[in-house]
Amino acid sequence: MALSEPVRAVRRLGSAAQIGAIVMAEPAIDASLDNHGQPDDRAIALDILLRDLARLQCLEPDLDGVIGEVEHYIDLPYRDLSRRAA
């Protein structure tokens, strides 16, 4: 299965061991979410991102630090969706 564009970006940035890779990955994640306007669609897109990140983590465990930062960043829109649903 192919990885989503934001996850491919994380893979490229993390494997280059660039300082601040998360700052460069955030726009890819945001752009991906911008394609999904409805809250349910955004939640599904976030789930897919997390699944793909877990797959990447299995393939390249040396990216754990970057993937953890990206997962933390993804948590922010999840919390926003939860507040809106309440």
Would the pLDDT of 1 be above 50? no
Q: pTM for this structure? A: 0.76
In a domain, residue 81? The reply is yes
In a domain, residue 49? The reply is yes
The tokens of 26 are what? 């955030």
The tokens of 36 are what? 């999904």
What is the end-to-end Cα distance of the chain in Å, rounded?
A: 35
In a domain, residue 82? The reply is yes
What is the tens place of the pLDDT at every residue in 62-79? 888 888 888 998 888 888
In a domain, residue 24? The reply is no
| pLDDT confidence of residue 66 | 83
Q: Locate tokens 């490229």: which residue?
A: 12
Domain count, the chain: 1
- Domain housing 66: 37-86
In whole angstroms, give the CA distance from residue 83 to residue 57: 29
In whole angstroms, give the CA distance from residue 74 to residue 42: 11
